[in-house]
Each structure stands twice: as C-alpha cells, then as structure tokens.
Structure 1
Amino acid sequence: MLLQTEAHAADTIEIPQKSERCVIVIDEALPPGKASNAAAVVAFTMGQRHSRLVGAPLLESDGTIHPGLIPIGITVLKATSDQLTELRQKSLPHCDVVDFPVQGQTTTDYAAFLDAVSTQAGESLRYVAVGLLGPRNRVGKLVGGFSLFA
C-alpha cells in the first residue's frame, strides 16, 4: 500500500449532498466474481465522473493518511437482467447512469469490448450492472423494489 504523506485541505474537497443517493444494481444471476467485477467497474466509473464522491482523507493519530472514501455510501442491490434494462431506461431522465453492458465481461480487451457494443442497437443491449447517482427520493423510487445483493 502506498502511504500518502500530505493531506489535502478539507476545504478543497466537495462533499456530496446528503440528499444524493448512489446505488449499484447487479444482475442477480452473476456468480460472485463477476458480480464483484461489475460493481467495481461501475463504482470506479461513477467516482471518475463525480470526483466529489471521494471524501476527505482518513487521518490516523500517528499522522498516517489513507485515501478518502465515499461519505454517502453505496447500496448494492440485485435485479434480473430484464429489470436492469428497464431500470436503466427509467433512470436516464432523472439520474446520472453508469451502465455496464454484458459484452464487458466477455473479453479483457477493451478495443474488442468497444467493437462488440458498437454492433448493437441501444435497445438490444443487456447489462450486468447499472449505477445511479441522483436525488435521494428519486433514486429510492427507482430501486425501491430491489433487494440487497447478498
């Protein structure tokens, strides 16, 4: 683990609003390794798109600094493949959506992934995960019927 030696000033970190919610919904049919991968890919992309989702660095009493984590948390839920497609479509007008098409887990070559997606019409894409960031009440209504991924 690389230790950071200098803390960022707390006033330079934009903290997400408590009224925001971040959720990742995973295809319930995925085995644990692929489900973990899907959640990680969506979370990484969501963090890149919204740098404010990374909280202030954690500081130990001896001065050791750890990278900041998401202060509003991420709920990980499960849904069927059909429900993921429907959730993505319903969410687009209301939230930032990060979707992970199934083609992403069929290759380790990103160029091949891009090619595979480019041959599909949008409505025919299927997803292994969908991430949402948006108003707490709106996201809650969109994912209210889904259970925790366990």
Structure 2
Amino acid sequence: MITKCAIVVSEELPTGLAANAAGVLSVTLGHRVDGLVGADVEDADGVAHPGIIATPLPILAAPRAKVAALVRAAAEDDELFFVSFSALAQSCRTYAEYTGRMAATTTAGLDSVGVAVHGPRKRVDRLVGSLPLLR
C-alpha cells in the first residue's frame, strides 16, 4: 500500500503560529507512525546524519472551518491516523497546563487550528488534494 501524509494549518494563523502548529504536528506524526522517518545516512565524508522523513510532507492551508471539517472526517475514517492541534494547545505554556485544560474541555469545545493525516494515498488525497500549500 502506498501511503501519504500531509499537514493542514489554518490560513488565519499568523506565520509564527502556523509554523508552530506544523512543527508540533510533524513531531507527533514522526513519533507515532512507524517507518515515516528514514534510516540515518552518511555523506561523502563519512559523517553520519540522522534520518529525515522518507516521504514528502506538504504543509497546506485552509480556512479554520475546513480544518475542523478535516478533523471530523479523519476521525470517521478507520484507515487514517490523524493528529489534531487546537487553539487551546497552542495557548498553553506547559504540558501540565495543556493536560489540565484538556481534561476540562469537551471534544466539541476544541477549536482545531491544524491537523496531520497519514494513511492510504487515495484517502489522504480525497481529504486534502485540493488545498493549496501554505504560503
């Protein structure tokens, strides 16, 4: 099976917050999806370099309402792995603050500002294929 991944962030986010959302989502994606990060490599001088993602990872943009719709659609598809990133998470200064605030917030109360998806290429393309790159 050919897989694909993509990250979508809200086009309403300022550049720094959009980069932050994409960074957080990519770290989680790399940690949770086996085989996404390639093996370490050596350059021509024999210097070792840590592996990087072995597949393209487009960072796309969409209106915040579309990001929320993508989260809902990904949650309903058993073949997709997804990570949602909320405005609540982005506003926290520590992980302890994040876990405490999440425990007091319903799923419906979360305002998604980004989502990462991974799964079969056709399913990911159906979700994000028409979205533009983040510029």
Unaligned runs of 5+ in 1: 1-16
Partner secondary structure for residue 52 of structure 1: coil
Q: Tell me the secondary structure at the aligned position of residue 77 of structure 1.
A: strand
Q: Comparing 80-89 with 113-122, which one deviates more in the overlay?
A: 113-122
Identity value in percent: 34
1:76 corresponds to 2:56: no
Q: 1: CA distance between counterparts of 2:16 and 2:32?
A: 24
Q: Which has the larger radius of gyration?
A: 1
**SS of residue paired to 2:66:** helix
Greater RCO, 1 or 2 (C-alpha within 8 Å, sep 6+)? 2
Q: CA deviation at 1:107?
A: 2.0
Partner residue of 1:40? 23
The DSSP-based 3-state class of the residue aligned with 2:20 is: helix
The structure 1 residue matched to 2:92, chosen from 82, 107, 122, is 107
SS at match of 1:117: helix
Q: Distance in 1 between matches of 2:70 and 2:52?
A: 26
* SS in structure 2 of the partner of residue 142 of structure 1: helix
Q: 5+ residue gaps in structure 2?
A: none
The more displaced of 49-58 and 30-39 is 49-58
Q: Which residue of 1 aligns with 2:11?
A: 28
In the alignment, the residues of structure 1 paired with residue 104 and residue 131 of structure 2 have an alpha-carbon distance, to the nearest angstrom, of: 31
Identify the match of residue 144 of structure 1 among 125, 129, 135.
129
Residue 133 of structure 1 aligns to which amino acid in structure 2? H
SS in 2 for 1:45: helix
What is the rounded CA distance, in whole Å, between the counterparts of 1:141 and 1:102 in structure 2? 25
**Cα distance in 2 for residues equivalent to 1:62 and 1:145:** 42
The within-5 A match list for 1:56-135 is: 56-92=39-75, 93=77, 94-135=79-120
Moved over 3 A (4+): none
Query: What is the distance in 2 between the residues matched to 1:96 and 1:76?
Result: 16
Q: Which amino acid aligns with 2:40?
A: P
Q: CA RMSD in A?
A: 1.2
Q: Deviations over 1:88-141 (max 9, x none)?
A: 111121310011111112121111111222222112211121000000011000
User: How many pairs align?
Assistant: 133
Q: TM-score of the superposition, structure 2-length normalised? A: 0.93
Give TM-score scaled by structure 1 length.
0.84
Deviation (angstroms), 1:62: 1.2
How far has the Cα of 1:144 moved from its partner? 2.2
